[in-house]
Amino acid sequence: MPTPPAIAPRKRPRQARAAATVAAVIEAAAHILEAEGLNGFNTNAVAARAGVSIGSLYQYFPGKDAILAALIRQEAEAFDAALTQAVARTGELGTTGAVALLARVAVRHQASRPRLARLLDLEEQRLGLGREADAAGARTAATIARFLAERRLGGEEAALDILHMARGLIDGALDRGAVENLEQRLAWAILGYLALSRQAPSA
Amino acid sequence: MPTPPAIAPRKRPRQARAAATVAAVIEAAAHILEAEGLNGFNTNAVAARAGVSIGSLYQYFPGKDAILAALIRQEAEAFDAALTQAVARTGELGTTGAVALLARVAVRHQASRPRLARLLDLEEQRLGLGREADAAGARTAATIARFLAERRLGGEEAALDILHMARGLIDGALDRGAVENLEQRLAWAILGYLALSRQAPSA
DNA sequence: GCAGAATATGAGCGAACCTTCATATCGGAT
DNA sequence: ATCCGATATGAAGGTTCGCTCATATTCTGC
């Protein structure tokens, strides 16, 4: 029979189109935020750059903030993925080398789109999906915490402190163009913090 | 003669009023940014909260952004003043104690209005008064650099790195409510960075 | 082919909001 | 008391922008 039950390997142009639109909108949002900041970020501009009508945009996103939320999620997931992969590659390295590797990954990620990363940090807080709601962000912290725990370098609090410290250091350095040695400076900060916090396990 | 040359100790109600209005507007802007974020920050709301008409606001500020710029300037100056005073009090302290004192000052400042401090950081960048134009911000970096230089702990780059690192660490910690030990954690980060950067003076 | 469902379009509504300006009020010198 | 410049006021103009909805187009099963 030329027509089998017709269930499994169907083409799905509709859903594929939908996914492409969603991706285009998110990419457009990222581009605009990076190039123009929050000011130029309006739904009409995003739709235009994404090559879809404003109506279509609203078919896939309930509102402007949802676009931001999706972008934040995507960036957080990409960063976590990169970090997880890097942690896996630290197996045979000493602590210094391992931290240096992670520092490199963090710098690379933030440096690829510095303005965007900053804006998203701030907006994440504004959108209120700050606590708990942001699964990918929590996973990033967990990834670092796992790395620290394996080598008995610190706990969850150290992981979060390092994460925020790194963001501040990298963003600031990129702003002023002080990229030389940046990975090493970040490694100093991280290793220094860890060394002293272990020396004095506090109360 | 009951009427001396009448030059020196004149009351100046007009200028006093003007100064009071400017101060009220800036304070209103700070309050609104802290409480409502950038969304609630509009000229009408600022004028209303300051207790002046929108027209008067525009008599003293050429536009919305000028209010932000003034606020940024004021906050930067307050922080620099607090820091300078603290540095002066570190004279007889060891490095550890001195850094701890400065860490305390930084935490206190940022913690008093955490949301505001963050927003201003971002807006400062957006307004483009980022490089050079912000004298007070540069002075803060210089204050830290001077402290580091006196004790041969580091140079200008270290000062800026520490400044940004501290901002990130403090903001992140305040966001998640991890204030316990915060001053000490910040001190670890700073001392750790300095120790390692001195060990390896790099290229 | 065709019918109907899914999807795309974009003109335009409504609200928010920055800024201006014609008018009113006030402060101080005479 | 009176006048004049300095200052204060807030209604309204004009613009930007988020979002809706009536209409058009495309896709899929029959």
Q: Is residue B164 pLDDT above 70, yes or no? A: yes
Q: Closest Cα of chain B to A193: distance in Å?
A: 4
| Dihedral sign (CA A57, A58, A64, A70) | negative
Q: What average pLDDT does this structure show over A54-81?
A: 96
Given this model, what pLDDT does residue A18 score? 78
How far apart CA B94 and CA B90 sit, in angstroms, is: 8
CB pairs under 8 A between A and B: 122
**pLDDT range class, residue A5, cuts 50, 70, 90:** very low
Sign of the torsion angle spanned by Cα atoms A60, A63, A69, A72 = positive
Contact call for residues B114 and B171 (beta carbons, < 8 A): yes
- Interface test mutation site (partner B, options A68, A196, A199, max chain B beta carbons within 10 A): A196
Shortest distance between the Cα of A134 and any Cα of chain B, in A, equals 13
Region B131-148: mean pLDDT is 88
- Contact by Cβ (8 Å): B18, B60: yes
Q: Which residue is nearest to nucleotide D18 (CA to C1')?
A: A43
Mean pLDDT of B107-125: 91
Mutation pick from A122, A162, A191 vs chain B, by most beta carbons of B within 10 Å, is A122
Sequence letter at residue B4:
P
A100-137 per-position pLDDT tens digit = 999 999 999 999 999 899 899 889 888 876 555 688 88
Q: In 3-state terms, what secondary structure has residue A94?
A: coil
Q: What is the pLDDT of residue A6?
A: 34
Determine how many CB atoms are found less than 10 A away from the CB of residue B200: 10
pTM of model > 0.85: yes
Mean pLDDT confidence for B180-195: 98
> Given a cut of 90, is residue B130 above it in pLDDT?
no
CA angle A169, B111, B137 (to 5 degrees): 50
Protein residues with beta carbon less than 7 Å from any atom of strand C: A 14-15, 17-18, 21, 44, 52-56, 58-60; B 11-14, 39-44, 54-55, 58, 63-64
Asked if B169 and A173 come within 8 Å (Cβ–Cβ), the reply is: no
> Is the pLDDT confidence value at B5 over 50?
no
Q: What is the pLDDT of residue A203?
A: 46
Per-residue pLDDT reduced to its tens digit, B76-86: 999 999 999 99
Query: How sure is the predictor about B122, in pLDDT bands with cuts at 50, 70 and 90?
Result: confident
pLDDT at position B151 is 96
Contact (CB<8Å) B173/A161: yes
